[in-house]
Structure 1
């Protein structure tokens, strides 16, 4: 099971990586198309050069630099996400991957700076000293690339080792078994959104948007998890409704906003971004997170109730299945004892001893293996052969009874539910054999790959009026039909035909 689980995890990880590759490649292609479109049909920002009286070439000052900038970001993301960070997370080639990460970052900063000296050459005229202009370009390139690549590496490392990191937090594992995967997925989505925002900053989107996104989503995510796993369950235990929950969250929102304001006061001098962030956070907490958490909890609660109901129904089915099994065993035991009793009357020693030995094997099978959910098909076939041999002891002195068996020896590893085939054979001997009239039974069993083919046919004779079995149909066949429908739903085909002279059963079964 551990091997299968590890294999399943590897497959999921591979699928996630493939998805990330195609998403990043699609965004890269869209960016290239946008650059080509602006080059062909637009001015590429030439008006800024005109305003500064700087010579402009759309190829040298827009197309080629932008192609270099977007390409270096794309290939760096692939390198970090699929090569260096996965190996670092696993502790492989640490020194080499660290050196490669630093080298790629340095190369990207230089490339980005050089590209900006062409795309933003109109800004150079604002400086008296050309070195100060280059220092400005270098500082901007360093700040942007360093922050963007930090996000790249953080995401790649988290994607590889985030689950293992959360699994080390014993509090989370004890609290709820699903919360770790939910926190992992939510954090990953937030990191992806940060990557998108950071990547488009180069397209002149204000840094304030990134600051808002750095603060608002984590606070709302934390608030939502607290509400779903702590606040709402405790309120529901005390039979409190949505009204109490809503106004309580309003109070918590005010407290959280005051704490954030105290923390962010030193950054207030940077403009209006902090007050706007706090107001936006309050709106999100009250209008989005609060009702969403309530809906998610209700949805999860209803699903859990449905799952519990299904488990209850499944338990009833298991109990019913065990009851059906228990009905078969004593029914067969009485038949076997009657057979041995008849044999003992016919002769004294050898055949009776043989019959008792076979019965002992069969009772041992019923006591030990019949309680298991699955057994090997080989053991089931041995049980069938013992039963048939016992019945042959009873009928061997009658020349008018013909019993033909073609049961293949099973050398495979197929598994089957115990006592599944015996009712058909038992029914054939019970209703198809007469010691006073000619009668026959034919049994065939064979397997092809994982499919079992089982046929039983027997003669039909009219029972005497005083025969106690005349009006009894038995419970064996009905039980086995129910067991097949419970345990092999969609994996079996059962055909039962009855004519005036013959009863025929054909079973096709897909085994494990």
Structure 2
């Protein structure tokens, strides 16, 4: 307890609290240029205290080593040198990490090549560098004062090389190969060649640092295996997973844009169609009746035109305004059919006092279709319209009679655009929030729509 456990706990505590101090107190202040003198003094004081504390703790936890030295002072000098080397190096890493954590993104953003090449690469390199610094700190802390010099040099050099090659593969090599329709085989053997070249360059760079001739070559061979077996397939997977997903997202955005353009086109188709029908109605009324009824029809048409000019340009309108438009349209059609006793038009449209919102002109195509195909001035015919809401659910039913059109009727071979348009709009705007049932028999056409509103 006294000669080993407590001294080791003391050493670990010094490292832990020093890391917190540098990372959250002193270095953030230094990076921002605040209280520079005070924070420098504090950093130096903490480092000096840690060196002395480590040396004293080692005289307890590693006292067995003192017997290896003939002179006790010589042993203490060795302990002090080891503590100084270890604390200085690991605290240098702590401060480097803390500074990079504060200013790393800013430093990388100053590299215009990276920023102009790809806007995501800066943040990814920043995160990768932070991970490397963290692993380097853990590696150093675990080894304590027994640092293997060759392994430390390799750890400082090899991971950054792997990171650089991975980024080059993801952002340059693989995209160019994919442009030429080359697959994984070409990429793999190309990376084998790059690995051989990089390993030879690393060998040349690390030769001056070798103390044990076998360590560096063996590590470089293991690094080459890592580059080929881990970095190469990992970079391919990241590219496929990331950039092909981005391509899919871009394709979906394009399709969404097309859908939006199609929706706007559908709206532009609907408006002239209703205007044409309304004008035909007014024209027939003017021929049959006096100006009073024609004036009433014109007033209804004016309300409809006002609706189309203002509300129809919005994404959502109140259900109350949509119902007003439906009533105006129905009243306008009743002017045309009022003289025929064989035409029955029943409407049960609830007055809407709620705040529900709906896409404009979503319901009118069903009613327009019923008047277009279900009314005959020569034969008995009928239309029944029901609209009601319960909480946020709208229930809308339209049924109409069907009659055989004359051969000379210009509408006989034409199918209205209204129903197809509204089906597309429902699929685009209320996907999963509507149920549309259309049934047709020899004598009747029936539509039921259930719609979840906002």
TM-score by length of 2: 0.75
> Which residue of the partner structure matches residue 333 of structure 1?
275
Q: Give the whole-Å Cα distance in 2 for the aligned partners of 1:260 and 1:508.
A: 68
Matches within 5 A, 1:373-392: 375-378=315-318, 382=321, 384-392=323-331
The answer on 1:406 being equivalent to 2:346 is: no
Q: Which residues of structure 1 form unaligned runs of 5+?
A: 1-58
Report if the CA contact (8 A) 1:224-1:293 is conserved.
Answer: yes
**Displacement after TM superposition at 1:494 (Å):** 1.9
Q: Give the whole-Å Cα distance in 1 for the aligned partners of 2:363 and 2:105.
A: 47
Match among 432, 443, 446 for residue 387 of structure 2? 443
Match among 420, 440, 451 for residue 508 of structure 1? 451
> Which residue of the partner structure matches residue 194 of structure 1?
136
Matches within 5 A, 1:3-152: 59-81=1-23, 101-127=43-69, 130-152=72-94
> Which residue of the partner structure matches residue 494 of structure 1?
435
Distance 1:168 1:338, change over 3 A: farther
**Displacement after TM superposition at 1:305 (Å):** 6.1
Q: Give the whole-Å Cα distance in 1 for the aligned partners of 2:418 and 2:104.
A: 55
**Displacement after TM superposition at 1:136 (Å):** 3.3
Q: Give the whole-Å Cα distance in 1 for the aligned partners of 2:430 and 2:245.
A: 27
Match among 201, 209, 224 for residue 267 of structure 1? 209
SS of the residue corresponding to residue 396 of structure 2 reads strand
Report if the CA contact (8 A) 1:62-1:118 is conserved.
Answer: yes
Matches within 5 A, 1:171-182: 171-182=113-124
Distance 1:264 1:315, change over 3 A: same
What per-residue deviation string (whole Å, max 9, x for no partner) do you get for residues 154-201 of structure 1? 334444554444333221122234433432333233223212211211
What per-residue deviation string (whole Å, max 9, x for no partner) do you get for residues 126-152 of structure 1? 456555544433332233233223333
**Displacement after TM superposition at 1:215 (Å):** 0.9
**Displacement after TM superposition at 1:76 (Å):** 3.9
**Displacement after TM superposition at 1:411 (Å):** 6.1
Distance 1:159 1:333, change over 3 A: farther
Matches within 5 A, 1:280-429: 280-285=222-227, 288-290=230-232, 292-293=234-235, 317=259, 321=263, 324-345=266-287, 346-348=289-291, 350-365=295-310, 370=313, 375-378=315-318, 382=321, 384-395=323-334, 398=338, 401=345, 403-408=347-352, 417-427=359-369
Moved more, 316-325 or 221-230: 316-325
What per-residue deviation string (whole Å, max 9, x for no partner) do you get for residues 348-407 of structure 1? 2642442342243144248xx54xxx62424x7535523522432442695975545435
The answer on 1:212 being equivalent to 2:157 is: no
TM-score by length of 1: 0.68
Report if the CA contact (8 A) 1:339-1:390 is conserved.
Answer: no
Supply the RMSD in Å over aligned alpha carbons.
Answer: 4.5
